Amino acid sequence: TQLLEQSPQFLSIQEGENLTVYCNSSSVFSSLQWYRQEPGEGPVLLVTVVTGGEVKKLKRLTFQFGDARKDSSLHITAAQPGDTGLYLCAGASSGYSTLTFGKGTMLLVSP
Amino acid sequence: SQTIHQWPATLVQPVGSPLSLECTVEGTSNPNLYWYRQAAGRGLQLLFYSVGIGQISSEVPQNLSASRPQDRQFILSSKKLLLSDSGFYLCAWSVHSSYNEQFFGPGTRLTVL
């Protein structure tokens, strides 16, 4: 059974601070995705990383896939209240039609 | 462009009553379809997925069932709801690819009383 562990589970910070959330596994994934979910809504895909060591940037968000494709990180620079939400990582494996989801990191950014 | 619809948005049902949640996708054909349940502020539990019409895979044994009567329609049902069935139900779709990027509907908030 593949597992993805996310840390921290909960993060409360002030506007303007930087933060990093982690997604770790003992399994290798063919790709890894990050989603953000706002309260009462469905998750929205932010990014997909495919190659070991890959770094992708989305405005103030930086995503990195580990060299061994077993882990990933999300770094947010100068967090804003609009970044508040549940961040979920999910791993895909070749030949499987399902994703392995982590349990999420709940981020609260206060003004 | 593709869109995914779920209804109803909210539902309050008594214990022992039946359930039918519907999900439809527009703008794509032969998608993978998924039903998830989510506890408050936590991760997603995969309930069912389907790679084609009439093909349903169950991930968690329970009193729920799923059906895919048409290519882009996915239905979640129960004959008798339990209190533990309360939660946020999400439908998602993906294309058949190794990336399996999933696109979620707006969800249905189910409260069983």
CB-CB neighbors (< 8 A) of A4 in chain B: none
Domain interval for residue A53: 5-110
Q: Are B43 and A99 within 8 A, CB to CB?
A: no
- The residue of A4, A101, A108 whose CB has the most chain B CBs within 10 angstroms, and thus the best one to mutate to test that interface, is A101
CATH code of A29's domain = 2.60.40.10
Give the residue extent of every domain in chain B.
Answer: 3-112
Helix (H) or strand (E) holding B96: none
Interface size, chain A vs chain B, as Cβ–Cβ contacts under 8 Å: 62
The two tokens of residue A78 are: 């100068």
Alpha carbons B91 and B106: distance in angstroms, whole number: 8
CATH architecture of B3-112: Sandwich (2.60)
Residue ranges of chain B with pLDDT lower than 50?
none
Long-range contacts of A4-7 (CB under 8 A, 24+ apart): A4/A89, A4/A90, A4/A91, A4/A100, A4/A101, A4/A102, A5/A102, A5/A103, A6/A87, A6/A88, A6/A89, A6/A102, A6/A103, A6/A104, A6/A105, A7/A105
What is the DSSP secondary structure assignment for residue B84, as one 8-state letter?
A: G
pLDDT tens-digit map of B24-42? 999 999 999 999 999 877 7
Residues in chain B with CB shorter than 8 Å from the CB of A84 are none
Strand-pair partners of A58: A61
CB contact under 8 A, A45 and B103: yes
Could you give the number of structural domains in chain A? 1
B80 touches chain A (CB under 8 A): no
Listing DSSP states for A5-24 in one string gives EEE-SEEEEETT--EEEEEE
Q: What is the pLDDT along chain A (111 residues), one digit of tens a residue?
A: 678 999 999 999 999 999 999 999 999 999 999 999 999 999 999 999 999 999 999 999 999 999 999 999 999 999 999 999 999 999 998 888 899 999 999 999 999
Q: Do B106 and A45 touch (CB under 8 A)?
A: no
